């Protein structure tokens, strides 16, 4: 029962740019809460990819970028590489639920 909706899958050829949307509501993203993004490689724990809407932790390539507008957020991957094939999740806070919420997840496939 995720309250943040993502497309189930996106794909692209190496070198291309792909974007993943994260659609929320006025009680989470639209209320001004930050959006964070996680990458989960197959068989591993999630890792923080983007925090505070558009900030990269140390070590994350600048090919990854985030943005937020209204009740939605997006993650962009430019110069897609084979090692980017993974599941990606957005996350925020919801004031109606008084708790944290994750997106439905998006599988990125490199063609």
Partner 1 sequence: QMTLKESGPTLVKPTQTLTLTCTFSGFSLSTSGVGVGWIRQPPGKALEWLALIYWDGDKRYSPSLKNRLTITKDTSKNQVVLTMTNLDPVDTATYYCAHRPDASGFHYWGQGTLVTVSS
Q: Is 39 left (phi over 0), alpha (psi -120 to 50) or beta?
A: beta
Burial of 111 (0-12, 13-18, 19+ CB in 10 A): exposed
Indicate whether 58 belongs to the interface with partner 1 (CB under 8 A).
no
Indicate whether 14 belongs to the interface with partner 1 (CB under 8 A).
no
Indicate whether 38 belongs to the interface with partner 1 (CB under 8 A).
yes
Which part of the chain contacts partner 1 (CB under 8 A), choosing from 15-23, 67-75, 76-84, 96-104? 96-104
Residue 57 contacts by C-beta under 8 Å, 6 or more apart in sequence? 48, 49, 51
The residues that touch partner 1, with contacts defined as CB under 8 A, are 1-2, 34, 36, 38, 40, 45-48, 51-52, 55, 57, 89, 91, 93, 97-105
């Amino acid at each position: 029962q995720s309250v943040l909706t993502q497309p189930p899958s996106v794909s692209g050829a190496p070198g291309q740019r792909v974007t993943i949307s994260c659609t929320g509501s006025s009680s989470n993203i639209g209320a001004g809460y930050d959006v964070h993004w996680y990458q989960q490689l197959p068989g591993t724990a999630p890792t923080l990819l983007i925090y505070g809407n558009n900030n990269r932790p140390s070590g994350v390539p600048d090919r990854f970028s985030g943005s937020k507008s209204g009740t939605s957020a997006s993650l962009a991957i430019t110069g897609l590489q084979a090692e980017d094939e993974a599941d990606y999740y957005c996350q925020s806070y919801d004031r109606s639920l008084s708790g944290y919420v994750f997106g439905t997840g998006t599988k990125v496939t490199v063609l």
